[in-house]
Structure 1
Amino acid sequence: MGVPERFRSVLEPFIGDLKAREIISGIGLFGSWSRGDASPSSDLDLLIIESRDFDYEYLERIELNDCLIDLNYVPKSWIVYRVPPELDQKLYELQVMFDRDGSLTKAKNLMSKVYWRPERVEIRTEAYLVEADTYLSRARTAFNRGDYKSVKVNSIRSFWALMKILTEISRRPVLYSHFIRNLEQSSKSLDMQGLYEDYIDLIGFAGVNRASLKLMLESLSSAWMGVIRFTSANLQALKIIHPKIATKISYYARESFLRGLIARVNALIDENDFLEAAHYMFHVMVDMLENYAFLVSTAEGLRFDYAILLRHLSESKKSPIEVYQGAINVLDVKEFSSHDADEALKTVTETAVNIRQRRKDLIARFIG
């Protein structure tokens, strides 16, 4: 599909400015506009390769004449040497727009050749197993410390990482806003529909409708505005935390991001994709809160523990109360007992064992 017409007039001078900076090695388009499945509410995603020395991806959102553009910066070393698995999909989808020395085109072409090779799929799915194990460990820690709300959140995040494995093995892209649709199709093609149903049961959004989603969106908006105000008032704390976390907070804590998020959710609601809309809000909210809560703890001089994310927010003396109240509404964790938490842990643990045992066989059968 390429760059849409409404973006071109504002994008060309912006790309020109980037090209003039020696530190910029390459620029490419990825995401929905590159894949060809964008909707009118979709923003534009650019991968920007920098030649300076750092070892993480950072995000920036800009708004040019009402066009929302996400800039994903990564170090040149990631494409020249060993490509980390989190960059695979971006390179696979990439349309190269600028390449100072040919290295981005070379990385793109190589990824096009190896993306669906069994050994590369094993690398990506192994990374998802590590992610799932991390969240499951946090869920167990939260359970032992009596934070059952955080048990649910961490359990869902662990299960989500495991479901990414099914999506990968069925040769579908792992997307934020169309995850449920792709997972349902993936589970059917792999004859593993039971895991899809278990995931939906754990999330608890099966009964959402247009009215309940509008209320969720109001809660999300209220919480997000609280995050924006807190971040603006605590810029000194933002300066002393790791740049990877600081840039993530700066990315989320903008009204332009919130406007884009609201537009995307409303588009899903208008398409009657109710479960997808709720799922999208849940995971974007958690990703934001994990970084925001780190900032809150820093501002309060406290050590942050990801495992008890919601307890941190509930006990904070500085974070606006609407952030916590909005979070528990969007995440649907108002009532989650120790028994519920124990059952969630059992479900995710059993699923992790199941997928870990079957992963390589599934790759051999469905990838090659």
Structure 2
Amino acid sequence: MTTDDTADGEPNGDRSRIDDGDVSTLEEELRARGEPYARATVVRREPPVSSNVGDRAVVTADGELHGWVGGAACAQSIVATQGREAIEADAPRLVGIAPDPETVDRPGLDAFPMTCHSDGVLEIFLEPVTPTTELVVVGDSPVAGSLTRLADELALDVTRVVADAADAGDVPDGTDVVDTVDPDGIAAAVGPSPLVVVASMGKYDARGIAAGVAADAPYVGLIASDARAEEEVARAADLLDSDPESVRAAVTNPAGVNIEARTPAELAAGLLAEVVDVRAGVSGGAAVGSAADGAETTDDETADSDADAAADDGDDAGGSEPAVDPVCGMTVDPDDAAASVEHGGRTYHFCCHGCADSFESEPSAYVEEVNA
């Protein structure tokens, strides 16, 4: 920068700026937070302007400019506005700023008038930097496994959520595995605004939904029948201590594009198509069609089992004596139960967290209350 260059009549030293090291640090912070931004770099100058080729700045998604590309508020406002538009369009652009825009106007360049008092010329390249979208797949079902493998082919950071790391099976290199089904734990482990697909087939769907809502996910897709979806949403609302309608509004069910899928891999393909659509901002998460209708029957059929008879076996089970899940009627090894709940002086053991959550929400629906 030369000493005779000024910006809008003000000496260079009077205008706040951050150096290249600060710009790099800011970029790292934005990437860590998963926030998009635009990198602005001076690629051509004609004096008098208060910047050199190579000077750079960062434009955040809200249009704030940090760094130095020269010019006073007139030029800086153009760079900030164009930077924000580059972020929104996710497309780079070359901007020229000159007293007479026609002198720099050419194909591939957007020309703007230099309204500052100086008569210099600036050309600035704006490059949007969009963080990789994180896809969170909740569940250990075959559909979840297929979706994890298929998503590895796309520009997605994939996180698999299971109750136990061993349940994830073989996952592609680079896939993160989160082995907790605590909603707060899941939300804390994933990045900001992930895309979430819940496919545990009733084991801990409510917890996956709650985690997606807690993480401000723009898309929470659920693989479930309509009846079970309503139950899972209600349980998720209880976990969040939130209004069920607000939770329901955040959930897409049935999730996935309707491609008449029959196999887990085909279901996953329909889900991935919708994820790609949502990521591109085309559908905003609206369900295009059902890829899950008729895809599951076993969990609904199990739920119709005789829960009252199962409750008779809900007493404390010592040693390896089997217990019966009072919600679904499955036989459970107390030493290997997915969850256990104390109620009315008894310990009830459950095959999955979904059954435990349902029981805790309304225990009287599954066992006779014991009067003290």
- TM-score if structure 1 supplies the norm length? 0.20
Specify which structure has the higher proportion of helix: 1
Greater fraction of residues in strand: 2
Higher relative contact order (CA 8 A, sep 6+): 1
Q: TM-score, normalised by structure 2?
A: 0.20
